[in-house]
Structure 1
Amino acid sequence: MKLSIYLAGEIHSDWRKEIKEKAEALQLPVTFYGPMENHDRSDYIGEEILGTQPNDILRDEAASSINNLRTELLLQKSDLVIALFGEKYKQWNTAMDASAAVSLGKPLILIRPESLHHPLKELSQKAHVTVERVDQALQVVQYVFSN
């Protein structure tokens, strides 16, 4: 069995690289998906496809519609979603992706530091598992493959 995992979370740090490298070291049979990690491309994909927009609001809406389509397709294709909430960046997209996973009935592992327990308490209760570190999330995935 091979699992497809969507990695929801901010795109400014290298947490996805870390989780992919550690999963490979553990020889986990997984494939990873996630949001567009090129921030500029994500912001300007609407104009790249549809042409220059007359203002920033329409530019954002054009990009958002395309990014939402991409995210929904990849979430639906995934067997599991791992959503990381860190302390440094705003996490609106992570919350939206984690909520979408719950709505789609996708198993969800939520990674969040203890300091974010209170603001994420409802989402944490909807997740299948809540952990504090990437390593813990991978231990959960590794357990899935245990005999």
Structure 2
Amino acid sequence: MDWNVYLSGEIHTDWRQRLKEGCEANNLPVVFTSAVTDHEASDAAGDLLGKEDSKYWRDHKSAKVNAIRTKTLIENCDVAVVRFGDKYKQWNAAFDAGFCAALGTPYITLHDEEIIHPLKELDAAAMAWAKTPEQVVEILKYVMTKA
């Protein structure tokens, strides 16, 4: 069985690539999905429906168009990995974690110790907290291969 792993969160570091390479190196049966990681394309998704003069309405339309993808992929994943970086506030990742919690979808948070406090509720609902993508690989390896 292939596991469907949804990747959520910050897009400015190589954590996704490290996770994918680790799973590949361990021959784990994983299919990765995620939101659109091209920031400009994601911000402009609502422009497909016509340009907006208001920033609010542009963001509103883009959020709804993007939600078609994220909602569908999260609802159909086996587990999600939600990454929080320290440089940017990932409100969308926090929303994804809350959505997983509401659906009962297991998720793993991935972040440094410095931001434990602001993420305490999200960590409390997570099945695991990891500090590195390599730890996530070890968790996936364990749950997929141990009898």
Give the TM-score band, short-chain normalised.
over 0.9
Rounded Cα–Cα distance in structure 2 between residues aligned with 1:112 and 1:39: 20
User: How far apart in 1 are the matches of 2:30 and 2:53?
Assistant: 42
1:140 aligns with 2:139: yes
Residue 95 of structure 1: aligned partner:
94
Give the Å deviation of 1:122.
Answer: 1.5
Structure 1 position 33, deviation (Å): 0.5
2:32 match: 32
**What pairs with 1:51-130 in structure 2 (closer than 5 Å)?**
51-130=50-129
What residue identity is the alignment partner of 2:72? Answer: L
1:2 alignment partner in structure 2: 2
* 8 Å contact from structure 2 (residues 52, 58) kept in 1: yes
Inter-partner Cα distance in structure 2 for 1:87 and 1:54: 32
Q: Distance in 2 between matches of 1:40 and 1:117?
A: 29
User: 3-state DSSP class of the match of 2:94?
Assistant: helix
Letter in 2 for 1:67: N
- TM-score (norm. length: structure 2): 0.94
8 Å Cα contact 1:10-1:93 kept in structure 2: no
User: Secondary structure in 2 aligned to 1:75?
Assistant: helix
Deviation at 1:72, TM superposition (A): 0.4
User: Structure 1 length as normaliser, TM-score?
Assistant: 0.94
Contact 2:2–2:31 (8 Å) recurs in 1: yes
Q: Give secondary structure in 1 for the equivalent of 2:6.
A: strand
- TM-align CA RMSD: 1.1
**% identity of equivalent residues:** 39
- Aligned residue-pair number: 146
**1:94 Cα offset (Å):** 1.0
Determine the C-alpha separation between the residues in 1 that align with 2:83 and 2:113. 13
- Secondary structure of 2:118 counterpart: coil
SS of the residue 1:5 aligns to: strand
Name the amino acid aligned to 1:61. H
Task: Supply the AA of the counterpart residue of 2:33.
Answer: Y
